[in-house]
Chain A
Amino acid sequence: MSGGLKVELGRRYRFAASHRLHSAQLSPEENFRVYGKCNNPYGHGHNYVVEVSVSGTVDPATGMIVNLADLDGFVEREVIDAFDHKSLNEDVQAFRERVPTTEYVCVEIYQRLKHFRLAKLERVRVEETSNNAFEYAGEEIQDRAAVRQEGKRQ
């Protein structure tokens, strides 16, 4: 067998929020073409599910990677309090510059949780609806807008 055994803990959280998909870099026609009804100027909402996976050593005294109360408290403070019953576009600073697609919601949640000191954040999965899910594990994000601008200049 290759490496030792790795143990992860996974926990699911929920928040409800509204958003509107609209890119300042696109014309009104392009925005409507790309985002369709998600471009509705008044926005719309979802019940999001956030699945957080952390890893670490299982403490023999407690049988735990991390005490759930500590993980829950951290996720509540960093993510749920900031996102639940909010307009992602208006109320979350990161989405004043970035379109709040669930790809970027997933990345933003990862950025907020990666500083957790009691266990290692492995990945974040966000379900926008029961049919759409996104996962991010800290990989480098290529700035495609910059790539597109670069392409236009050439």
Chain B
Amino acid sequence: MVYLTRKVEFSASHLYHNPALSAEENRRIFGKCNNPHGHGHNYSLEVTVAGEPDPVTGMVLDLKELKEILEREIIQRMDHRFLNYEVAELTGQIPTCENIARAIWNLLEPKITQGTLHKVRLYETPDLFAECYRNGAPAR
């Protein structure tokens, strides 16, 4: 098995607010992320695909195809968007790094048909990231 990772970046804004909680609770739990006007990040996304290299091409999958999938499924959806209001996959969820990473996993998994999606790692800042993978898959 070979693991191939491609990185893309996007910039987006968000805010954390749960309408089921009081204003005070929202402020206590989410702190400055609760600012009603939102704030933004430069997100960095690492997508890892696992598979066997094709004996003819030597590729697990065509990188160009992966690049196009990421452009279509993620960049066009999320880049320069307000995640709370403009991304249907996050409707009704707090757009934390955990939830965005999971939404990205769910968008990409059915689209990757050569090899299998192994891991999604999403950096919100260089010091904070969330990671998704299948239970039982080797961590790498």
Binding site for B on A (CB under 8 A): 1-13, 53, 58, 60-65, 67-69, 122-123, 137
Alpha-carbon distance between A13 and B136 when the two chains are bound, in angstroms: 27
Number of contact residues on B: which range applies? 20 to 34
Contact A69 B101 (CB under 8 A): no
Alpha-carbon distance between A46 and B31 when the two chains are bound, in angstroms: 33
**B69 located at the interface, meaning its Cβ lies under 8 Å from any Cβ of chain A in the complex:** no
Checking B30, B98, B139 against A9 with a beta-carbon cut-off of 8 angstroms, the contacting residue is: B98
Complex interface residues of chain B between 15 and 30 (CB less than 8 A to chain A): 16, 18, 20-21, 29-30
Minimum CB–CB distance for B55 against chain A, Å: 26
List B contacts of A5 (CB < 8 A).
102, 105, 132-135
Contact A62 B105 (CB under 8 A): no
Checking A8, A61, A67 against B130 with a beta-carbon cut-off of 8 angstroms, the contacting residue is: A8
Checking B20, B93, B136 against A3 with a beta-carbon cut-off of 8 angstroms, the contacting residue is: B136
Contact A2 B99 (CB under 8 A): no
Contact A10 B128 (CB under 8 A): yes
